[in-house]
Amino acid sequence: AETEADLEGARMLHAAKIDPKAMATFFAKLKHEHGDIPGVVSWLSTHPQHEDRIESINKYTDSLTPIAYEPLD
């Protein structure tokens, strides 16, 4: 369900003309600052590993029709 929520968020950002790749950047920052859950206990987590989230968001956003994104203030 978390992966589906990530992709729906990316879809909504794209529809609002906001670059959804920023979601992947956010998860990369989380991974850099806090790391991932150790592999041994990751199966207990209800959230995918940051790297998996980054990969699925990037794969999805690469499939979107390119548009001009609006800058955020």
Angle, vertex CA 34, rays to CA 4 and CA 61, nearest 5: 30
pLDDT band at 61 (very low <50, low <70, confident <90, very high): very high
Give Dmax (Cα) for the chain.
42
Range 23-43 average pLDDT: 75
pTM for the full predicted model = 0.77
Quickly state the pLDDT bin for 55 (edges 50, 70, 90).
Answer: very high
pLDDT at 46 > cutoff 80: no
pLDDT band at 39 (very low <50, low <70, confident <90, very high): low
Question: E strand or H helix at 47, and its extent?
Answer: none
Question: Looking at beta carbons, which pairs linking 12-18 to residues 24 or more positions away fall under 8 Å?
Answer: 14/61, 14/64, 14/67, 17/67, 17/68, 17/69, 17/70, 18/69, 18/70, 18/72
